[in-house]
Chains A and B, each alone.
Chain A
């Protein structure tokens, strides 16, 4: 049924997308749309621990509902995927200086509020542990285990001089915005965090 209704959809709108609701293709199109729009896509733009945890919570929750989930890590969010205590291998003085200031790794993420030179973040981490809340590190492993697709943005890697070797093995693909958009088109939940 799936293949057939998709075929009808393609014929109905000339294969241009799924917003061509012609009379002939109206009903099969509706069926096909419902079937394909079950994914969850989240752009993780932020690199702060609270926002990253929110993204991971939604991701593992959705995966537990049997949904296909993609996490697209870009800009500050890419810090989540940098190896903890990785060497600064950036080339060029600006990138290298940036690498020193912008520390990466799941252990290094600050709070978006009340970071207070690390004191606030440290207290929040203690509270989270006390409430048995998984850390970003544990969440990344869990998400991976549940089949969440981890995408690293290649643009950010280029700008910040972060090489593949400085990023974690959990990454499924290193890709660009088109990969994200293709996934987003098939998603019913699409967030930017």
Chain B
């Protein structure tokens, strides 16, 4: 799955940040689901993770739950994934 290019995400400002650093699948997604539930529609969440699976899992989760996947920024084994809450949960 191809996300948005890195250029699109450099100036993005997230309303919430989730630290899932060092956590293995599916914990980053489990925590994402929890935090997104409490967010307002239209808000942006940034998830910081080290498990590479998140690159595929997050777009899949967004599609399944009706949220908008914005893309991923990757640097030195650290993944910053962005998504926008689009559906009321």
Contact = CB atoms under 8 A, between A and B. Distances in A.
Nearest to B27: A134
A61 interface: yes
A63 B33 CA distance: 9
A112 interface: no
A75 B22 CA distance: 34
A57 B65 contact: no
Interface residues of B, number: 15
Nearest to A62: B26
B89 to A, nearest CB: 7
A124 interface: no
Interface in B29-56: 29-30, 32-34
B25 interface: yes
Nearest to B25: A57
Interface residues of A, number: 13
Contact of B24 (A66, A133, A142): A133
A117 interface: no
B10 interface: no
B14 interface: no
A101 interface: no
B24 A131 contact: yes
Contacts of A142: 30
B30 A146 contact: yes
A83 B8 CA distance: 52
Nearest to A134: B27
Interface string A123-152: 000000001111000000010001000000
A60 interface: yes
A142 B31 CA distance: 11
B26 A64 contact: yes
Nearest to B22: A132
Contact of A57 (B22, B26, B33, B64): B26
A142 B27 CA distance: 10
Given A142-B30, A146-B30, A64 B61 contact: yes
A65 interface: yes
A60 B61 CA distance: 13
Interface of B: 22-27, 29-30, 32-34, 61, 64-65, 89
